[in-house]
């Protein structure tokens, strides 16, 4: 399998806030990112894949106090819950960054110093509309008719007055427009238009600190004991702190011989995956911070949609929250990956319910792939002495193009189209009947189905990696599965 170029490839998820259990929306982002990382490894690139947790801020402090826990104890618990997603979803990340780690705190402070050295940080007294949900001040255009935040309409806006440090966001308006004019810097295109429209509407300098007496849970501002760094400014720095920046922290992720920041950020292709509500933060604020610190900008940010359930936003009060850890226990890792990558749109909102998860599982895994593989391997074990000779190379160009476009759903659809074609071939040629009448011709037909199944197994690598391994092993050993690959759910 070849690639157009062998540039190192760095890919990240956003880092979720640890004020609640993992939800299916982040599981989607994690699995999408993992599938792209696996594809890039297959294409021959050196890949570094980072995820982690965002652990500072007002919401964390309030949630920990509500539970009667120390803030660090609280984030330790939830970070452990998010780490469970690695095994539950089969995630191949190279590192897991926590913003409460000593290295990350130093990196956030260094980002502050570099922006400050550019004259981009200043202090002023400020009165503004503050959304606790977003942990940020809001302009009038950010509020709905009821003077609530569009993202958190159930929370009242607070009027806060305090002395904070500000970042000269307005200074970077033209540079940001120049950055956003690059081709493919944002996917899908309509998110790029959204980012450009936001910048063109005029940028206001934003607050990047909070008074320590009001919010003690945060990274201390360098040379000011009375202030802590605003959670967004701190958290965005994770994308480079996890690579060892600013020091050459070579021991990260078990690669002591390499300068990971230089290799993957400065000289590699940098791709960030994020939810559609992150455009302002990932493609605008973070990019301005990088410009200020004289660090290369992100090459591409890919935005996915939201997951609703029964047409409504998931919430505990509605009882429609789907926990990915529970889902993996019920259906298994591979089935959850399959569902999120094929039945959830990569860029637009999608509706997910327990009913459509079960329906997709039974139709496409238990009755589809699982049943087909079992039929072919049973015939092969019974009538063939050994596995047919597998060609060294296959043409996956069309399939790979979908991954290049970050359209994993179309890639998965392509695989299931091949599964459907193979099923039709068996129905049409009936090798199970032919082999009893004309043994030679029957064996040729069976061999053909085995080789096609092997091709399908290879294509499953980024989507369902364990199924890929298991099917290839069974085919090479010429054995039928001892139990159903995917047991039907009633």
Residues in CB range of 288: below 8 A, 6 or more apart: 167, 169, 172, 175, 176
Only one residue has tokens 């011989």, namely 257
Start-to-end C-alpha separation, the chain? 40
Question: Distance between CA atoms of 217 and 62, rounded to whole angstroms?
Answer: 10
Full set of structural domains in the chain with CATH: 9-304 (3.40.50.620), 354-477 (1.10.730.10)
Q: Determine how many CB atoms are found less than 10 A away from the CB of residue 461.
A: 19
Q: What is the pLDDT of residue 3?
A: 43
Q: What is the pLDDT of residue 132?
A: 80
Question: Distance between CA atoms of 43 and 48, rounded to whole angstroms?
Answer: 14
Q: In what order do the strands lie in the sheet with 307-309?
A: 312-313, 307-309, 350-351
Q: How many residues can be counted in the chain?
A: 490
Question: Distance between CA atoms of 110 and 259, rounded to whole angstroms?
Answer: 18
Question: Distance between CA atoms of 98 and 74, rounded to whole angstroms?
Answer: 13
Per-residue pLDDT 10s for the chain (490 aa) are 444 568 999 999 999 999 888 999 999 999 999 999 999 999 999 999 999 999 999 889 999 999 999 999 999 999 999 999 999 999 999 999 999 999 999 999 999 999 999 999 999 998 888 888 887 778 888 889 888 998 888 888 988 888 999 999 999 999 999 999 999 999 999 999 999 999 999 999 999 999 999 888 999 999 999 999 999 999 999 999 999 999 754 445 556 667 899 999 999 999 999 999 999 999 999 999 999 999 999 999 999 999 998 888 876 667 788 999 999 999 999 999 999 999 999 999 999 999 999 999 999 999 999 999 999 999 999 999 999 999 988 899 999 999 999 999 999 999 999 999 999 999 999 999 999 999 999 999 999 999 999 999 999 999 999 999 999 999 999 999 999 999 999 8
Question: Distance between CA atoms of 367 and 277, rounded to whole angstroms?
Answer: 37
Q: Please answer whether residues 55 and 431 qualify as being in contact, where contact means their C-beta atoms are separated by less than 8 angstroms.
A: no
Question: Distance between CA atoms of 468 and 458, rounded to whole angstroms?
Answer: 6
Question: Distance between CA atoms of 8 and 41, rounded to whole angstroms?
Answer: 10
What three-state secondary structure class fits 154? coil
Q: Is the peptide bond before 404 cis (omega within 30 degrees of 0)?
A: no
The helix or strand, by DSSP H or E, that contains position 303, with its residue range, turns out to be strand 300-304
Q: Please answer whether residues 446 and 378 qualify as being in contact, where contact means their C-beta atoms are separated by less than 8 angstroms.
A: no
> 113, exposed or middle or buried, with CB in 10 Å at 0-12, 13-18, 19+?
middle
């Amino acid at each position: 399998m070849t690639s157009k170029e062998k540039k190192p490839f760095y890919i990240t998820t956003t880092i979720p806030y640890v004020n609640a259990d993992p939800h299916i929306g982040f599981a989607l982002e994690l699995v999408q990112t993992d599938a792209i990382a696996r594809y890039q490894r297959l294409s021959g690139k050196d890949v570094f894949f980072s995820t982690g947790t965002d652990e500072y801020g007002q919401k964390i402090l309030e949630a920990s106090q509500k539970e009667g826990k120390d803030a660090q104890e609280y984030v330790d618990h939830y970070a452990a819950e998010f780490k469970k997603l690695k095994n539950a979803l089969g995630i191949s990340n190279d590192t897991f960054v926590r913003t409460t780690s000593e290295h990350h705190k130093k990196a956030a402070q260094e980002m502050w110093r570099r922006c400050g050295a550019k004259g981009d940080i200043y202090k002023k007294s400020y009165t503004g509309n503050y959304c606790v949900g977003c942990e940020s001040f809001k302009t009038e255009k950010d509020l709905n008719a009821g003077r609530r935040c569009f993202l958190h309409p159930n929370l009242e806006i607070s009027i806060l007055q305090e002395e904070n440090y500000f970042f000269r966001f307005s200074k970077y308006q033209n540079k940001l427009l120049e950055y956003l004019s690059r081709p493919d810097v944002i996917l899908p295109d309509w998110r790029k238009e959204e980012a450009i429209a936001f910048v063109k509407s005029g940028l206001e300098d934003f607050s990047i600190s909070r008074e320590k007496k009001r919010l003690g849970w945060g990274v201390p501002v360098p040379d000011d004991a009375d202030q802590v760094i605003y959670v967004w400014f701190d958290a965005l720095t994770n994308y480079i702190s996890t690579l060892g920046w600013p020091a050459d922290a070579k021991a990260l992720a078990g690669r002591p011989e390499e300068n990971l920041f230089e290799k993957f950020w400065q000289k590699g292709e940098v791709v960030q995956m994020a939810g559609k509500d992150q455009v302002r933060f990932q493609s605008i604020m973070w990019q301005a911070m990088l410009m200020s610190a004289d660090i290369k900008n992100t090459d591409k940010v890919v935005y996915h949609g939201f997951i609703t359930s029964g047409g409504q936003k998931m919430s505990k009060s509605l009882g429609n929250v789907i926990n990915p850890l529970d889902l993996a226990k019920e259906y298994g890792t591979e089935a959850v990956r399959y569902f999120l990558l094929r039945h959830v749109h990569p860029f637009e909102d999608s509706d997910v319910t327990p009913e459509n998860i079960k329906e997709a599982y039974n139709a496409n895994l238990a009755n589809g792939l699982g049943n087909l593989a079992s039929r072919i391997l049973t015939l092969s074990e019974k009538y063939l002495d050994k596995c047919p000779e597998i060609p060294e190379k296959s043409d996956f160009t069309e399939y790979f193009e979908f991954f290049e476009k970050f359209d994993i759903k179309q890639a998965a659809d392509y695989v299931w189209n091949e599964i459907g074609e193979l099923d039709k071939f068996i129905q049409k040629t009936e090798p199970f009947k032919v082999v009893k009448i004309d043994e030679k011709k029957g064996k040729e037909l069976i061999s053909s189905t085995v080789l096609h199944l092997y091709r399908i197994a290879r294509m499953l690598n980024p989507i369902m990696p364990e199924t890929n391994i298991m099917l290839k092993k069974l085919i090479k050993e010429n054995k039928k599965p001892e139990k159903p690959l995917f047991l039907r759910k009633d």
